[in-house]
Amino acid sequence: MRGPLLLNYPLFNKGPAFPEQERRELGLLGLLPPHVDTLETQVERAYEAFRAKPTDLERHIYLRALQDENEVLFYRLMQDYIGETMPVVYTPTVGEACQRFSHIYRHPRGLFIAYPEREHIDELLANTAQREVDVIVVTDGERILGLGDQGAGGMGIPIGKLALYTLCGGIHPARTLPVLLDVGTDNPDLLNDPLYMGWRHPRVRGTEYDEFVERFVQAVMRRYPNVLLQWEDFAQANAGPLLERYRDRLCTFNDDIQGTAAVATGTVLAAVKVTGTRLRDQVVAVFGAGSAGCGIAEQICAAMVRDGLSETEARSRCFLIDRSGLLREGLSGLPPFQQAFAQPAARLAGWRVDRAGTIGLAEVVNNARPSVLIGVSGAAGAFTESIVKAMADYTPRPIILPLSNPTSRCEALPAQILAWTEGRALVATGSPFADVAWEGRTIPIPQCNNSYIFPGLGLGILAIGARRVTPGMFMAAAQALANASPAATDPHGPLLPPLTAIRNVSRLIALAVAKEAVAAGVAAPASDADLERMVDERMWTPAYARLTGC
């Protein structure tokens, strides 16, 4: 690889930072300005260009173009300015980027596997540049954040997630592969858009869909038998069944179900410590009982059992509210993952049911008196002033986590929550928000985002060579995150570490996950010293390597 070809290969391209000897050896003389840059100089030039863009979407487009041109520079820029760049590469800006995907498309990245090509998936995988892949993030684009069906535009999510695997967890970018399973779209705006780049067909469902996914998984296992496969942004009807179908066949997990659960649980554990109480004493209300909400409730229940409750006692303390209201005994049509949280009728004696036959969030708050309120509904403004004030009336330090993404779908704004609770609430959000000024002090608002969990989880799994992803790994990750909370040592500190510390947090989580893998028998035994060495050796740092010509 020499000359112009080398300059167009983002993993090796250094741009003007190629030193003179490499320029001579690799056929680059005359193809670059004569001055030799340092990486630091390139970062400042790139940052200046980034800041000059007028909107976050334009900044997203710029960063994606930089990633396709020079990956070392891209990740070094993100690392040095993580607070500004990470929300642009991922939430919340990635939502708009997915909606506008066909209009802002510039350069190919990742693998599109369309349903009409289902007989040729092995050939499609063979067309990728990577002969070895450690992590695949795959979506079918049906439930992108809180925005719904984005069809082929959903590819923005795997691309963004894998960028965070590298940025936060040090997974080498050459060993990652984003995949979009294009089974059509039911979004009429996309089907009627002349620029839409996906397969123009209603979504394939049922047996045909299942067979298509099965073909994909089998092809992946043939080509990359040791890969970590992450399912991302699948609709509720498919997310849980896919996880159950494949969790014992390969190393795989669903980040919306398990990663969201782990980061929420870790945040709640940190908040409970601030309140001076125990997790087993909390009452939890989860607004949004889809795969994410039920996953969070399952993880919190498991943590309560570890704190001394029986499973029945733990479930009795978790109230889940869906579109049909509180999950409760007697409701018809509840899927199995929701049935586990249906509250017995006897426990709800005297509660009011509205004209539609539902028990809403306000009724749950007024009767169950939760100390923890979590939102994963995508319903903006659902945590109203009256609901939050009711919590604050009987809970000295209410724990309130409006986690829906993007920002436009947040259940309540942090400034509102703190005003309604007179600054007493412990708040974390799914999207990034600025600190809130309250009566002469500044209250930081941590982003309770899966990026605190999945990069470290993946790093630990790959470092130890785990054969499967176990539930215990997510509990280990949640506890490690809680232990890293600044609030653990400073009651006025944020519940989660700053983004600038996220690589250190990922390392701690990786060590905890690797130890759990050994304990669970899904990885070979290793000493603590060996685990640290294996994790550290796996963490890639964005720096230019010496290249030599033949």
What burial class does residue 359 get, using C-beta atoms within 10 Å of its C-beta: 0-12 exposed, 13-18 middle, 19+ buried? buried
- 90 belongs to the catalytic site: yes
Strands of 325-326's sheet in order across: 325-326, 318-322, 284-287, 372-375, 399-402, 426-427
Q: Is 256 marked as a binding-site residue?
A: yes
CA distance 267 to 245: 29
Residue in the block written with tokens 């412990």: 426
Q: Is 68 marked as a binding-site residue?
A: no
Q: Which of 507, 492, 271 is nearest to 397 (CA)?
A: 271
Q: Which residues pair with 318 in a beta bridge?
A: 284
What burial class does residue 123 get, using C-beta atoms within 10 Å of its C-beta: 0-12 exposed, 13-18 middle, 19+ buried? exposed
Q: Which of 90, 165, 246, 452 is catalytic?
A: 90
Buried-exposed string 91-103: b where 16+ CB fall within 10 A, e elsewhere? bbbbbbbbbbbbe
Q: Which of 161, 209, 224, 246 is catalytic?
A: 161
CA distance 55 to 434: 18
Q: Is 449 marked as a binding-site residue?
A: yes
417 with 388: CB under 8 angstroms? Answer: yes
Residue 181 Rama label (left phi>0; alpha psi -120 to 50; beta): beta
Q: Which of 314, 338, 313, 317 is nearest to 328 (CA)?
A: 338
- Strand segments, DSSP code E, in 474-530 are none
- 161 belongs to the catalytic site: yes
End-to-end CA distance of the chain: 10
Alpha-carbon torsion (497, 269, 306, 230), positive or negative? negative
Q: Is 40 marked as a binding-site residue?
A: no
Q: Is 232 marked as a binding-site residue?
A: yes
Please, what is the Cα angle at 343 between 337 and 345, to 5 degrees? 135
Q: Which of 85, 429, 78 is nearest to 263 (CA)?
A: 429
Which two tokens mark 474? 């997510």
Alpha helix segments (H runs only) across 129-205: 156-169, 188-191
426 with 399: CB under 8 angstroms? Answer: yes
Residue in the block written with tokens 């993880």: 299
Q: Is 143 marked as a binding-site residue?
A: yes
Which residues does the annotation place in the binding site for a divalent metal cation? 232-233, 256
Active site residues: 90, 161
Which residues does the annotation place in the binding site for (S)-malate? 143, 405, 449
Which residues does the annotation place in the binding site? 143, 232-233, 256, 405, 449
